[in-house]
Chain A
Amino acid sequence: MRDYGAALASADTVSVADSSDVVSARQMVRTLAQRSGMSLVHQTKLVTAASELGRNMLVYGGGGVVRAATITEAERCGVYVEFEDRGPGIADIELALTDGWTSGSGMGLGLSGAKRLVDEFDISSGPDGTTVRILKWGR
């Protein structure tokens, strides 16, 4: 995945500390998706992915920050979202990305499902925390 960090200069931000913040993060992403002119199906997929990743960072990472911004390129427009937590990190990312694998009480679809719903997906994790970056293009 390319580095879209520069777009975050004008990012919207939501701090996630409880489950109502996950709703706020979801709403922030939806607003940006609508602003970027994304189709309803694409919006729904992006917001669903954001919901999965927002819950993951709360449950497994103890909360964190969600940043989102619209990305405009020559012929397309999209939304970039970053989820950063300071949790214990994910020991085996490959395993965590496997459908049906869960370390908790979930269905094991959070990471793998979110990845399928977006166009670009990147995850980095270490003992200082986990950052997931996603991007969905408008069409």
Chain B
Amino acid sequence: MTDRVPVLKIGEILLVSIQVDLEDQMVMDLQDDLSNRIVATGAKGVIIDISALEIVDSFVGRMLATNAAISRVLGAETIVVGMRPAVAMTLVELGLSLQGVRTALNLERGLKLLRRISAGRA
């Protein structure tokens, strides 16, 4: 059995901080866990912190895009924060633009962005 990435709840936000080198199975588990937790908690926002990730390949990139789409359908907005510059350069050259995924430089800005989005909805 592989490890799972923890999904933390803070108020109406779910926080996922990826701290390990991701195996494909962990990526798929995270997708399941996250959508279940959104429904169970009624979260309005999801923040995925990838500042510890040394690479984002097409598989992880697709997970980020799919998660954002699933969350949106379930009523939660996803922000991916903390992407390293070298990772961003590699992703673009790889051909992934992460369309439909909102990003912010760091956790603090991500939280601000989420607050702005939910204020706009209210």
Binding site for B on A (CB under 8 A): 19-20, 22-23, 26-27, 30, 40-41, 43-45, 47-48, 51-52, 55, 99, 106-107, 109-110, 112-113, 116-117
Q: Give the total of B residues in contact with A, Cβ under 8 Å.
A: 24
Q: With A30-B54, A113-B58 in contact, do A107 and B93 touch (Cβ < 8 Å)?
A: no
Chain A interface SS verdict (over half) = helix
Contacts of B55 in A (CB 8 A): 26, 44, 47-48, 51
Q: What is the minimal beta-carbon distance from B15 to any residue of chain A, in angstroms?
A: 24
Q: How far does the alpha carbon of A107 sit from the alpha carbon of B62 in the complex, in Å?
A: 8
**Which of B2, B22, B23, B57 is A48 in contact with, Cβ under 8 Å?**
B57
- Check if B90 sits within 8 Å of A117, measured CB to CB: yes
Which of B57, B62, B94 is the most central at the interface, judged by chain A CB atoms within 10 Å of its CB? B57
Which chain B residue shows the least CB distance to A110? B58
| Docked-complex contact A44 and B54, CB < 8 angstroms | yes
Q: Please state if A41 and B89 are interface contacts (CB–CB under 8 Å).
A: yes
Known: A23-B23, A51-B55. 18 other contacts (CB 8 A): A19-B23, A19-B24, A20-B23, A22-B23, A22-B24, A23-B21, A23-B22, A30-B54, A44-B86, A45-B89, A47-B54, A52-B58, A106-B59, A107-B58, A109-B94, A109-B95, A113-B96, A116-B95
